[in-house]
Amino acid sequence: MKQASDRRAARVAYYQAHKTERAAYQKAYHEAHKTERAAYQKAHHEAHKAELAARKRVYREAHKAELAAHDKAYHEAHKTERAAHRKVHREAHKAERAAYRKVHREAHKAERAAYDKAYRLAYPDKALDRWSRRRARKRAATIENVSRAVVYERDGGRCHICGKKVGKRWHLDHLIPLARGGEHSYKNVAVSHPKCNMSKQTKAGAQLRLL
């Protein structure tokens, strides 16, 4: 027993004394055999795909809280870099992403239509908010995340043209129209009756106020 213990102690001492040389040797070996090691690892992963996946799943379940905390901390620490990376990636793959979205929309047209209809019925104001932003994007306008509910509350539910209370159906009117370069922003929108909004001309001079 003592001899075995002495041998282990000697090995530990040797490794500690030659730590730098061993690290340099391993690095050089890995560089020299990079292709072979990559091929071996790939073959090993393919041959043991199911076992590796099961092992990862078990590990993730057992360490769910720690992994979630680690991911959150990492994302917070690298928020700027990740945003920059996503932006570069989107720009580099703009055509592919557009083609994918087009194919996906065509393949899931019925499901999307059913989902959109259900969403509009469940969240009418949010659906109109989304439609307004989409309309502004088509005009290449400056876009703020405008909420109809907030605008309604701010304006007291009164039409900015006639001053009377609006009903359930009302328009989010752009004071400087999008067609004239107006923004989709809180300072450029107001509550209006559909009839009042449709009766005025699409020009800035026809607007009555600009916040």
Q: Which amino acid is at 69?
A: A
- Classify residue 136 by burial, with Cβ atoms within 10 Å: 0-12, 13-18, 19+: buried
Q: What is the percent of the chain with per-residue pLDDT over 90, rounded to a whole number?
A: 61
Task: Band the pLDDT of 138: cuts 50, 70, 90.
Answer: confident
CA distance 181 to 190: 16
Query: In sequence order, what are the beta bridge partners of 171?
Result: 192
SS3 55: helix
Instruction: Evaluate if residue 175 carries a pLDDT over 80.
Output: yes
Q: Give residue-wise pLDDT tens across range 86-111.
A: 999 999 999 999 999 999 999 999 99
Instruction: Evaluate if residue 160 carries a pLDDT over 80.
Output: yes
CA distance 145 to 130: 9
Residue 157 φ/ψ region, left for φ over 0, alpha for ψ in the -120 to 50 degree band, beta for the rest: left
CB distance 163 to 141 below 8 Å: no
Q: Give residue-wise pLDDT tens across range 41-84.
A: 999 999 999 999 999 999 999 999 999 999 999 999 999 999 99
- Looking at every residue in the chain, the average pLDDT score rounds to 88
pLDDT of residue 136: 83
Residue 143: CB atoms within 10 A of its CB come to 16
Domain ranges of the chain: 120-206
CA distance 13 to 10: 5
pLDDT of residue 201: 53
Selected from 1.10.3470, 1.10.357, 1.10.30, 1.10.1740, the CATH number assigned to the domain covering 120-206 reads 1.10.30
Angstrom distances, CA of residue 195 to CA of 32, 42, 156, 188:
77, 67, 19, 19
